[in-house]
Amino acid sequence: MKKIIIISIFFANLFSSIFADYHGVYFYNPNIIFEWSPKAGNTNFKKTLIKNYELKNKENLIRYINKNKVTKKDLLNTKWYRVKLIRSPYLRAVSCYLHIIIKEARLNLSFEEFLSILKNKKVKYLGKKKYIISHHCGEQYNEEDKYINKFLYLENPENIEELNAKTGLNLNLNSNQPHHTSYIKTYPYYVGHLKFKKNKTGFPPYYCFYSEKSLQLVQEAFPNDTTKYDYEVPEEVLEFIESQKHIENPFKENQVWTPPNITS
């Protein structure tokens, strides 16, 4: 039986950079620790494990995770090969935002407002209840990164294939296969200043949420993810920001975005 420890990080505090709660599943040979953060490929990874290890369903996998705890002591043990899945913070920031829009429909925020809350570590108040944006929206970086042997970049399929060859797994971590959201193929306008609601048509491409302002907000809200990992601002984001200087945006700030009639 193969032995793999799976680490799934859950934030004790949204704004803390220290993650102390680890959960794991145990198999035998090779000895590998996998770590991931929310909105960074973990759902596709779990589906792969269910398929590779003949776990019957997601609930079966969760029972394994909850039964076998992984501690920081495991990270210090050099017998483990420690792998972390990470995703471009520029793609992930939009994914986090849309997750909130879909899962927390009562939260009426634009992308810019969402980033400002994260940046300023502010709590959103809804009525008389204090509400904190979910753990899906914290940084991927944490203090345990210093123990990681290899970082897997979701946007680079070659290092996934390399790991598959090393472990005998068949991981499919294509970040372009969304499981919570769908996207229309093209859209001409900046939308980061608009409010969004769940819809059946889909959302604009992630780069449409970027302006010079929102780009800076992402870098300030996710300072470690944008500086400590080898991710540059995607070229399509920079090209889109430049293109907006030459067209007039038809939307007013905080207007609710309306999906177009076409889906392409």
pLDDT digits (tens, 9 = 90+) for 111-160: 999 999 888 876 555 444 555 566 678 888 888 888 888 888 888 877 77
**Which stretch of DSSP H or E encloses residue 129?**
strand 129-131
Q: How many helices and strands in the chain, by DSSP H and E?
A: 9, 6
pLDDT at 211 over 50: yes
CA-closest candidate to residue 35, choices 20, 48, 22, 47 = 22
Strands 32-36 and 4-8 turn out to be parallel
Q: Supply 103's token pair.
A: 């899962």
pLDDT at 220 over 70: yes
pLDDT at 14 over 50: no
CA-closest candidate to residue 178, choices 260, 237, 99 = 99
Model pLDDT, residue 10: 34
* 217 half-sphere exposure, CB direction, 13 A CA radius: 22
CA 132 from chain centre, in angstroms, equals: 18
Q: Supply 166's token pair.
A: 């090393």
Residues 19 and 177: their CA atoms lie apart, in Å, by 27
Average pLDDT rounded to a whole number, residues 86-107: 86
pLDDT tens per residue across span 159-195: 778 877 877 767 666 544 444 567 888 899 999 999 9
pLDDT at 251 over 80: yes
**Which stretch of DSSP H or E encloses residue 5?**
strand 4-8
Model pLDDT, residue 164: 78
CB 50 within 8 A of CB 178: no
Highest mean pLDDT among 64-78, 119-133, 218-232: 218-232
